[in-house]
Amino acid sequence: MAAEQVFTNGRIYTLDPAGTMAEAIAVRDGRIIGIGSNESIKQFIGPDTLQADLGGKVVIPGCIDSHCHLVMHGIACTRSADLTDSRSIVELLDRLRAHAAKSPNNKWIVGERFDQEIFAEGRWVTREDLDQVSADKPILVARLCYHAIVANSAALLPIKDKLTREQWETGRLTEDDCGLVWSQVPDCTEAELEKAMLHAFNEARNAGITSVHCQIDSMEELTLLRRLRDEGRLPIRVRVQWPYHLMDKLVAEGAKTGSGDDFIRIGSIKIFMDGSMGARTCAMCEPFADDPGNCGDLFRTDKELSEMLIKAQKNGFQAAIHTIGDLAITHGLGGIELAMPEGNEDNILRHRLEHVAQMSPEIVSRMAKLNVLASVQPQFIITDFWTHERVGPVRYKWCYPFKTMLNAGIRFGMGSDCPVERLDTMELLHRAVNRDVRNQDECLTVEETLRGYTNGSAYIGFEEQYKGSLETGKLADFVILSGDPFEVPKEKLGDLKAVDTVLGGKIK
């Protein structure tokens, strides 16, 4: 059988179980029909076969981002002020003014991804600060974790009767209360949503990401996603992560985890157990070291979670459970265990915990015993540089303990949580391998990280049979890199780039 396309003269890390190296790949109908030496692939070359010379460049399987919010990211990039790395409140306000000047017809001024931890003023931005930008036009700025926002007076006045005195005075809201302000921001038109979606998906592919486990928050978003697929304009593969409160919408379609095709599949039902470390709203067993008396917020107990899981299990859904603090993780594991007799023995539905920031020896042992999976975000390790002070030196040893989890037999995939972190595959690799100097015991090797980002993410999404490694019969999704991650000095890993991203054998 002749290939439609062959790629030759490469240094190909297949990341199959044996760690096979190859030189060439033959592709037909979007899948690999042959992989091996240049000589062995000649048999697949016919008169109409397209040939691409890789010129000795390194190839790895396509990266699979196991946790992201790309629609949110696209909307932020196309409609909002970018507050990333603002070093002071003054700079944040200047960025908002510049954005407002460029978009004078916008009814709201929205800014996203500030981090108060790096402000020169050493405090949060406030309602009164934002009023300096505009006293009349409503303003909302979101912390990079999106678990906390600050709004100006114009945005808060319509809901003032629903606010506490502190919320009004500071302008700061967290967790579900954020919705009081977000719900006032005008929705995107279909054209704006399409622009946002394509912007984010193309950015992901340019970064070397071929598949994502992406939060889709409405039937309108899902309908648009399907239209882009049908029109042949979807640049990556999407595994839909779906909110629990809309689960019945999928049930009505007859859908469950795994429903779909090679471009769009239904993935997990998303359930929140707590907030974020950055907003001090994640649920902790003991108070934050830098905020005595505050243990964060536990959104539901293990018993309450188990009831939600049983409903999901009866309808054939995997669950993706947001757990950051150790108390939330404990209740998350408890809920999974309580629900196991109702159709999820030995976690056959592969329920997964998202983030698992603050672990402990007991949690690691229990998680491995219950065969519970995880989706982890290595970029957090450096971005959240303040974690050591937030939890203290003793607990910090158990923050993001990837090596310990791996050694315990816990299977995990890797993602960015974009827009919380950048869509930068080599930055993720760099941070997993190098980490913070205070926790070097948890550094992963290059191979362990790449396998987590490919094999691991495929496994936690029930996709290991056709993604995650370069083998005959699997999808021809791979990345051509600017250098060899196994040979460059480890401190230079972040300098590597995706030169080209191939999806189904086609170069973008």
Q: 190-495 adopts what CATH topology?
A: TIM Barrel (3.20.20)
Taking only the tens place, the pLDDT of each residue in 277-315 is: 999 999 999 999 999 999 999 999 999 999 999 999 999
Q: What pLDDT, on a 0 to 100 scale, did the predictor assign at position 508?
A: 79
Taking only the tens place, the pLDDT of each residue in 21-65 is: 999 999 999 999 999 999 999 999 999 999 999 999 999 999 999
**Residue ranges of the chain with per-residue pLDDT less than 70:** none
Angle at which helix 326-339 crosses helix 302-314, to 10 degrees, equals 50
Q: What pLDDT, on a 0 to 100 scale, did the predictor assign at position 19?
A: 97
Taking alpha carbons only, the member of 426, 424, 432 closest to residue 449 is: 432
- For the chain, the domains span 108-182, 190-495
Which amino acid, 279?
A
Read off φ and ψ for residue 71, nearest 5 degrees: -65, -45
Question: How buried is 77 (Cβ within 10 angstroms: 0-12 exposed, 13-18 middle, 19+ buried)?
Answer: middle
Q: What pLDDT, on a 0 to 100 scale, did the predictor assign at position 343?
A: 97
Read off φ and ψ for residue 49, nearest 5 degrees: -75, 130
Copy the structure tokens of residue 273.
């157990």
Q: What pLDDT, on a 0 to 100 scale, did the predictor assign at position 225?
A: 98
Count the alpha carbons within 13 Å of 479 in the hemisphere toward its beta carbon: 32
Residues 6+ apart with CB under 8 A from 299: 175, 272, 273, 274, 275, 283, 328
Hey, what long-range contacts does 151-160 have (CB within 8 A, 24 or more apart)? 151/127, 151/181, 152/127, 153/127, 155/108, 155/181, 155/184, 156/127, 156/181, 158/184, 159/184
Taking alpha carbons only, the member of 232, 399, 250, 262 closest to residue 316 is: 250
Model pTM score: 0.95
Which residues is 52 bridged to in the sheet?
7
Which amino acid, 332?
G
CATH code for the structural domain at 108-182: 3.10.310.70
